């Protein structure tokens, strides 16, 4: 029996090279790996641009920017291949960015293409930029970093105020009922790439943009366990222009309860936030139990007001990145998306925040 097993094992090992030879082969020196892509509107229809690292004998790769105009993004790669001396492979795209005009016209066809292409990684990040995407890619090329934009986005998701995002989450929010997409928003400054907040979508079109503070609040609303920071103004006394306590979140948890579904939905939101106070003005006495308790109460009340204002902005823009519609849908068998959209601006939201400051920094 043992001899038979060894014989079968030997046969399997012998077949491995033959099986490997059946797969699609590509010589490394003859392919170019697209790592960032951009989409803009053009006179012909759509303009596409890509960043490609050029590996040479030098320790650091150069970066090549290729551009093409076509009627549709469907023939982006074939059109770009006509301008390249190596076959373009796009399975390693880390970020695809839409120019603002393109995003306002609608990104649905591109998303539909991405979700049907097995080469595209679901970890790829989708983003929007102020102005044209090709200008943002040119700025990244000037830094000689083909993955600069995806690295910036991921760093701000892991350590900053941007909510988690990738192609999988974007497709879930796009195709799912009762929710809308959001994407990192670039706002270049002084000719250099810079993140400016979060772009909000209604269906497949950009309908609004929020800054970093509101991005932090959105992150708190849709994620448990996070990083991020914000400034909380000191109410009394206010002796200086910079009377703010800077907090850095170390943990948060949001709980939702649909209190009513008809005639108009009502949802309660309870948020628990644990944070570090990184900068504390002299007039704020966090070293005493009374001072700490006062700051926690005032900070919680401020965050509640800011979240309520943000939710009103969502309703005005008719965007639902939190997924209130999905929450109501799970409780209402007669739920209808078109009917909910009409009611959405009137949906009642009640916000309560509990802020716990465990460690404090000392202001000079």
Task: Indicate whether 257 belongs to any domain.
Answer: yes
Residues 204 and 217 in one domain: no
Residue 2 confidence (pLDDT): 42
Sign of CA dihedral 190, 194, 199, 205: positive
Residues 344 and 231 in one domain: yes
Share of the chain above pLDDT 90, in %: 61
Residue 20 confidence (pLDDT): 44
Residues 136 and 236 in one domain: no
* Contacting residues for 345 by C-beta, under 8 A, at least 6 apart: 315, 316, 318
Residue 315 burial (10 A CB sphere; 0-12, 13-18, 19+): middle
Task: Indicate whether 6 belongs to any domain.
Answer: no
How far is residue 157's CA from residue 165's CA, in Å, rounded to a whole number?
Answer: 8
Residues 177 and 234 in one domain: no
Task: Indicate whether 255 belongs to any domain.
Answer: yes
Residue 87 confidence (pLDDT): 78
Residues 44 and 172 in one domain: yes
* pLDDT tens-digit series, residues 292-337: 899 999 999 999 999 999 999 999 999 999 999 999 999 988 999 9
Residue 45 confidence (pLDDT): 84
Residue 214 confidence (pLDDT): 97
Supply φ then ψ for residue 283, to 5 degrees.
-75, -10
Residues 222 and 193 in one domain: no
Task: Indicate whether 7 belongs to any domain.
Answer: no
Task: Indicate whether 78 belongs to any domain.
Answer: yes
* pLDDT tens-digit series, residues 93-148: 999 999 999 999 999 999 998 988 899 999 999 999 999 999 999 999 999 899 99
What does pLDDT average to over the chain? 86
Residues 97 and 243 in one domain: no
pLDDT at 339 over 80: yes
Sign of CA dihedral 144, 147, 150, 154: negative
pLDDT category of residue 33 using cuts at 50, 70 and 90: confident
How far is residue 240's CA from residue 251's CA, in Å, rounded to a whole number?
Answer: 30
CA angle 24, 28, 34 (to 5 degrees): 90
Mean pLDDT along residues 190-213:
96
pLDDT at 224 over 60: yes
Residues 217 and 350 in one domain: yes
Residue 336 burial (10 A CB sphere; 0-12, 13-18, 19+): exposed
β-bridge partners, 39: 48, 98
Six-digit token string for 333: 């068998």
CATH number at 218 reads 3.30.300.210
Which range, 85-89, 188-192, 350-354, 360-364, is most confident?
Answer: 350-354
Residue 1 confidence (pLDDT): 43
Domain span at 133: 28-210
Share of the chain above pLDDT 70, in %: 85
pLDDT category of residue 29 using cuts at 50, 70 and 90: low
Q: How many folded domains does the chain comprise?
A: 2
Six-digit token string for 56: 């040479």
Task: Indicate whether 5 belongs to any domain.
Answer: no
Task: Indicate whether 261 belongs to any domain.
Answer: yes
pLDDT at 3 over 70: no
Residue 242 confidence (pLDDT): 67
How far is residue 184's CA from residue 166's CA, in Å, rounded to a whole number?
Answer: 10
pLDDT at 347 over 90: yes
pLDDT at 13 over 70: no
Residue 58 confidence (pLDDT): 61
* Contacting residues for 304 by C-beta, under 8 A, at least 6 apart: 351, 352, 353
Residues 179 and 189 in one domain: yes
Classify residue 43 as left (phi > 0), alpha (psi -120 to 50) or beta.
Answer: alpha
Task: Indicate whether 4 belongs to any domain.
Answer: no
pLDDT category of residue 273 using cuts at 50, 70 and 90: very high
Alpha helices per DSSP H over the chain = 2-22, 76-81, 100-105, 108-116, 133-142, 148-159, 167-175, 212-222, 289-317, 324-329, 337-343
Q: Which of 151, 183, 210 is the last residue of a domain?
A: 210
Residues 106 and 132 in one domain: yes
> Cα torsion for 96, 101, 107, 109, to the nearest 10°?
-110
Residues 200 and 231 in one domain: no
Q: Which of 166, 185, 210 is the last residue of a domain?
A: 210
Residue 89 confidence (pLDDT): 81
Residue 80 confidence (pLDDT): 77
Six-digit token string for 105: 């016209």
Residues 177 and 261 in one domain: no
Q: Which of 193, 210, 227 is the last residue of a domain?
A: 210
pLDDT at 361 over 80: no
* pLDDT tens-digit series, residues 49-87: 999 988 765 656 789 898 988 776 666 777 777 777 777
């Amino acid at each position: 029996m043992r001899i038979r097993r060894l014989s079968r094992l030997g046969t399997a090992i012998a077949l491995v090279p033959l099986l490997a030879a059946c797969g699609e082969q590509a010589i490394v020196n003859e392919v170019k790996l697209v790592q960032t892509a951009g989409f803009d509107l053009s006179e012909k229809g759509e303009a596409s641009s890509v960043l490609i690292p050029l590996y040479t004998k030098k320790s650091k790769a150069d970066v090549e920017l290729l551009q093409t105009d076509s009627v549709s993004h469907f023939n982006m790669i074939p059109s770009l291949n006509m301008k390249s001396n190596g076959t373009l492979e796009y399975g390693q795209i880390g970020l695809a960015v839409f120019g603002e005009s393109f995003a306002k016209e609608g990104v649905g066809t591109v998303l539909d293409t991405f979700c049907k292409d097995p080469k595209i990684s679901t970890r790829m990040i989708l983003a929007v930029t102020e102005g044209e995407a090709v200008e943002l890619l040119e700025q990244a090329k000037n830094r000689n970093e083909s993955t600069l934009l995806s690295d910036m986005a991921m760093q701000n998701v892991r350590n900053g105020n941007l909510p988690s995002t990738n192609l999988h989450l974007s497709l879930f929010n796009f195709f799912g009922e009762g929710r809308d997409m959001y994407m990192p928003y670039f706002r270049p400054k002084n000719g250099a790439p810079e993140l400016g907040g979060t772009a909000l979508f209604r269906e497949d079109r950009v309908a609004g943009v929020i800054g970093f503070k509101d991005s932090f609040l959105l992150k708190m609303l849709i994620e448990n366990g996070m990083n991020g920071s914000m400034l909380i103004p000191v109410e009394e006394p206010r002796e200086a222009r910079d009377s703010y306590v800077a907090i850095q979140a170390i943990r948060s948890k949001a709980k939702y309860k649909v209190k009513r579904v008809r005639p108009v939905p009502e949802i309660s939101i309870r948020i628990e936030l644990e944070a570090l106070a990184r900068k504390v003005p002299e007039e704020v006495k966090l070293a005493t139990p009374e001072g700490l308790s006062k700051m926690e109460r005032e900070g919680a009340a401020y965050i509640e007001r800011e979240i309520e204002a943000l939710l009103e902005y969502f309703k005005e823009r008719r965007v639902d990145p939190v997924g209130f519609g999905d929450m109501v849908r799970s409780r209402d068998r007669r739920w209808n998306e078109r009917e909910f959209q009409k009611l959405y601006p009137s949906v009642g939201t009640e916000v309560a925040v509990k802020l716990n400051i465990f460690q404090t920094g000392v202001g000079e």
